[in-house]
Amino acid sequence: MQAFVSNRQGARWPWLLIAVLVLLGIGRFLAFSAHTPVLGYPNNFDFLRTSGCVGIWNFDAQSEAFHSPAPDRVVPLLHYNDERLWQFCNPTAETIYLSALKLGHSVGDTFPIQHLAYTKLAVLLLAYAALMWALRSMRLRVFLSACFVLLWWDMSTLLYFQSLYPVFSSLFFSLFVVVALLACRLDVFSRSAWASLLLAVLTFMLGFSNQQYFYLAIVLAAAFVLFNGRQYRLHSAAMLCAVLVASLCHSYLRPAQSQEFYAGIDRVNRTDTIFYGVLMHSSKPEEAAVSLGLRPECAQMAGIGAHAFNHGLKENICPEVASISRLKLLNLAVQQPATIAKTLLAGTEAYQPVYGFFPQLYPHHASELSPGMYASSPSSLMVSAPRGLYLGMVAVMAVLAAGAFIYALLPRGRQSLWAHAIWIGGLLCFYSIFSSVFGDGMVEVERHAAVFLPGFILLWLGALFGLLDRLHAAR
């Protein structure tokens, strides 16, 4: 069967298509970065974790102090005062972009936040170009370009360029690592040492993006070794080394002064996972509490978030929940599988791409500031669809992913681009929801599950490529 995108070396139109896609992305980005007022995500508090490591802060004349949050507005400026707050510092890939700005600025400089956006764009385009070089299939180059530009084009993604939220790297580098995995599975990835180094860098950037998606890097590295370990031994070793380095960075780069602060955040996340996650979706919360190793009376806390305890709104009669291992959820899955399923379904229903955090504090939703940019974003399909239709679409995605995975294991499906794209896209969607609801409970699922979007794009573009292949074969 001849593919609808030719792999013939002399074919020029695929390169023309790729050039058009990239130029459209650049044009969209320039329009976004020049928009007035400045578009981005407000700083609810989390910018502190990156700026505290680097000494470049997002504040203006309205800010109470250089480290104050600004959840009510998008601050268009960055100020380099070299002040460090090590007690809040959390090194991630985001600190790399922010640190790079020091190369062109001096202490005391104030400059537009667009400088950060341009730095991030330069890194992404470099990674994209390197991955395009490593691919040995024109079909896969077109597929990568389409996925990359659609993700880049989306307004919910663009807003991360002008913010300091670490999930920015999770979005793009999850896509890049998946495409590299696809290429190796189809045996169309360069076997050179440079290509293995590239794969290591892509994997590291995903693993170092944040703690939640560090485990996605482990999952993808394991999948790579399982499917491609024999053919690409050097590449497999490179991915495993990258995961190890990312793990060491998460463990040892965080300053000693911040250990207690982040231990407190971990306790909050565990509390939300149990009380504001699984127990609130259990039909028998007392039994669920016991299966998690808690006292039956802890079930009274179901549906209460940790912040209610921290702000004195509620008394936590079950403080031991903060030390419960998430491995206990395996016991709950055996005892009450319906509770796990209900929690996942609730997380799936709660997810939607975001265009502005905390609407009660930030009244200017980005989709209202730029209606055209919002309406032309792929994610707007999920937001505008009735929730019933959205859940039906997710059910179809689950069936497609399961069927594609089975087909990809068959001899005739091993070389199927669309089958692998669909099931791995489904894997990203599942991981993003799973890690959100069992990592933070139902707190801000829409923000924590950001990598659902690249999975969504991979799956549906894979389905489109498969459909076009079938139509081409039927001609």
Per-residue model confidence as pLDDT tens digits over 11-41: 789 999 999 999 999 999 999 999 999 999 9
Summarize the confidence of residues 439-458 as an average pLDDT.
91
Rounded to the nearest integer, the mean pLDDT of the chain is 92
Summarize the confidence of residues 228-241 as an average pLDDT.
96
In angstroms, how far is the first alpha carbon of the chain from the final one? 11
C-alpha torsion 145→175→170→322, nearest 10: 160
Q: Quick one: pLDDT band at residue 174, thresholds 50, 70, 90?
A: very high
Q: Kindly tell me the burial class for residue 283, based on how many C-beta atoms sit within 10 Å of its own C-beta (0-12, 13-18, 19 or more).
A: exposed
Q: State residue 24's pLDDT score.
A: 97
Place of tokens 């006292």: 295
Q: Quick one: pLDDT band at residue 314, thresholds 50, 70, 90?
A: confident
> In terms of Cα–Cα distance, which of 30, 89, 103 is closest to 57?
89
Specify the range with the lowest mean pLDDT, choosing from 67-81, 151-165, 299-313. Answer: 299-313
Rounded Cα gap, residues 64 and 46, in angstroms? 16
Q: Quick one: pLDDT band at residue 2, thresholds 50, 70, 90?
A: very low
The shares of helix, strand and coil residues in the chain, as percent rounded to the nearest 5, are 65, 5, 30
Q: State residue 5's pLDDT score.
A: 57
Q: What percent of the chain clears pLDDT 70, i.e. is strictly above it?
A: 95
Q: Quick one: pLDDT band at residue 10, thresholds 50, 70, 90?
A: low
Find the length of the chain. 475
| Helices and strands in the chain, H and E counts | 22, 3
Q: Quick one: pLDDT band at residue 383, thresholds 50, 70, 90?
A: confident
Specify the range with the lowest mean pLDDT, choosing from 100-104, 157-161, 293-297, 356-360. Answer: 356-360
The yes-or-no verdict on residue 8 having pLDDT over 70 is no
Rounded Cα gap, residues 469 and 475, in angstroms? 10
Query: How far is the CA of 183 from the CAs of 46, 141, 142, 314, 374, in angstroms?
Result: 36, 10, 12, 52, 32
> In terms of Cα–Cα distance, which of 80, 69, 79, 73 is closest to 41?
73
Summarize the confidence of residues 259-285 as an average pLDDT.
93
Do the beta carbons of residue 453 and residue 171 sit within 8 Å?
A: yes
For the stretch 150-168, pLDDT in tens is 999 999 999 999 999 999 9
Q: State residue 401's pLDDT score.
A: 98
Q: State residue 298's pLDDT score.
A: 93
DSSP string, 152-193: HH-HHHHHHHTS--THHHHHHHHHHHHHHHHHHHTT-B--SH
> In terms of Cα–Cα distance, which of 363, 92, 72 is closest to 205?
92
Check residue 118 and give left, alpha or beta (phi > 0: left; psi -120 to 50: alpha). alpha
Q: Quick one: pLDDT band at residue 1, thresholds 50, 70, 90?
A: very low
For the stretch 40-61, pLDDT in tens is 999 888 999 999 999 999 998 8
Domain ranges of the chain: 8-185, 257-345, 379-475
Rounded Cα gap, residues 132 and 19, in angstroms? 12
> In terms of Cα–Cα distance, which of 150, 232, 171, 227 is closest to 198?
232
Compute and round to an integer the Cα radius of gyration of the chain. 23
Q: State residue 291's pLDDT score.
A: 94
Summarize the confidence of residues 235-253 as an average pLDDT.
97
Q: Quick one: pLDDT band at residue 311, thresholds 50, 70, 90?
A: low
Do the beta carbons of residue 305 and residue 275 sit within 8 Å?
A: yes
Specify the range with the lowest mean pLDDT, choosing from 2-6, 65-69, 112-116, 208-212. Answer: 2-6
Q: Quick one: pLDDT band at residue 248, thresholds 50, 70, 90?
A: very high
Provide long-range contacts, Cβ within 8 A and 24+ apart, for 215-224: 215/435, 216/170, 216/174, 216/428, 216/431, 216/435, 216/451, 217/177, 217/242, 217/243, 217/246, 218/243, 219/427, 219/431, 220/174, 220/177, 220/178, 220/181, 223/181, 223/424, 223/427, 224/181, 224/184
The yes-or-no verdict on residue 4 having pLDDT over 70 is no
Q: State residue 210's pLDDT score.
A: 94
Summarize the confidence of residues 279-297 as an average pLDDT.
94
For the stretch 357-370, pLDDT in tens is 666 666 667 778 88
